[in-house]
């Protein structure tokens, strides 16, 4: 083993890397932190429009041109996030387009929705959640969602309590 000027041994850069990897792999105990990090990341191929994988296509909002929704500039003060499971992408694209037609700032992201607290998480259900500041818009968002996806309108519900959301004022969760 090589010695430095103090006479103490050095393990070298390769040894330090091996130790760092060993610590990282065992730091999380039974459920390593890095596994959750990679498991909860959005699919970059779906977000970037890269359609290299089977069944992956870019998120393409559908412009709403029907009746019952009109643009209101006051809606710009609300940020609405549409979170959807993979099989509800088409519904999310319609809801997103309808929200934009009404003047809401909207964003959308595919997710498993496993972390969401909801009374009904069955496939096909939709939940609208809002912060206390966005409570006045909650009913309008629900109405717009029902118009945007009329086939599943009966499955749209409103979370009765104010929700402490980490992103935006309102969330539309498409299970």
pLDDT given for residue 161 in this prediction: 93
Asked if the structure places residue 18 within a domain, the reply is yes
Number of domains observed in the structure of the chain: 2
Task: Give yes or no for a contact between 113 and 89, defined as CB atoms under 8 angstroms apart.
Answer: no
pLDDT given for residue 23 in this prediction: 67
pLDDT given for residue 136 in this prediction: 95
The reply to whether 79 and 32 lie within a common domain is no
Asked if the structure places residue 154 within a domain, the reply is yes
Residue that is written with structure tokens 């009404």 in the block: 102
Altogether, the residues listed in the chain come to a count of: 175
Asked if the structure places residue 49 within a domain, the reply is no
The reply to whether 102 and 159 lie within a common domain is yes
pLDDT given for residue 101 in this prediction: 97
pLDDT given for residue 106 in this prediction: 96
* Long-range contacts of residues 35-41, Cβ cutoff 8 Å, at least 24 apart: none
Q: What is the pTM of this model?
A: 0.68
Give 8-52 pLDDT, tens digit per residue.
556 677 777 777 776 666 655 544 554 455 555 555 544 444 444
pLDDT given for residue 12 in this prediction: 74
Separation between Cα atoms, residue 125 and residue 128, nearest integer Å? 10
Asked if the structure places residue 59 within a domain, the reply is no
- Pairing verdict, β 170-174 and 126-130: antiparallel
CA distances from 137 to 43, 45, 64, 97, 170 (A): 30, 33, 19, 17, 8
Asked if the structure places residue 65 within a domain, the reply is no
Asked if the structure places residue 52 within a domain, the reply is no
- CA-closest candidate to residue 60, choices 23, 12, 108: 108
Asked if the structure places residue 123 within a domain, the reply is yes
Neighbours of 137 (CB within 10 A): 22
Q: What is the mean pLDDT of each run of 10 residues along the chain (175 residues)?
A: 55 74 61 50 47 69 95 97 96 97 96 90 95 96 96 92 92 97
Asked if the structure places residue 47 within a domain, the reply is no
Domain that holds residue 25: 1-41
Domain CATH code at residue 129: 3.30.70.2390
The reply to whether 87 and 12 lie within a common domain is no
């Amino acid at each position: 083993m090589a010695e430095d000027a103090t006479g103490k041994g050095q393990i070298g850069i390769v040894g330090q890397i091996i130790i760092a990897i060993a610590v990282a792999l065992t730091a999380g105990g039974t459920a390593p932190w890095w596994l959750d990090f990679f498991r909860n990341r959005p699919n970059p191929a779906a977000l970037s429009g890269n359609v290299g994988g089977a069944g992956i296509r870019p998120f393409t909002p559908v412009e709403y041109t029907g009746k019952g929704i009109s643009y209101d500039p006051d809606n710009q003060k609300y940020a609405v996030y549409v979170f959807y499971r993979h099989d509800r992408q088409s519904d999310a694209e319609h809801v997103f387009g309808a929200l934009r037609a009404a003047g809401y700032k909207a964003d959308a992201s595919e997710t498993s929705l496993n972390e969401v607290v909801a009374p009904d998480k069955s496939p096909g259900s939709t939940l609208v959640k809002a912060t206390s500041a966005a409570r006045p818009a909650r009913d309008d968002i629900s109405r717009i969602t029902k118009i945007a996806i009329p086939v599943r309108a009966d499955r749209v519900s409103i979370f009765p309590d104010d929700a402490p959301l980490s992103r935006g004022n309102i969330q539309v969760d498409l299970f």
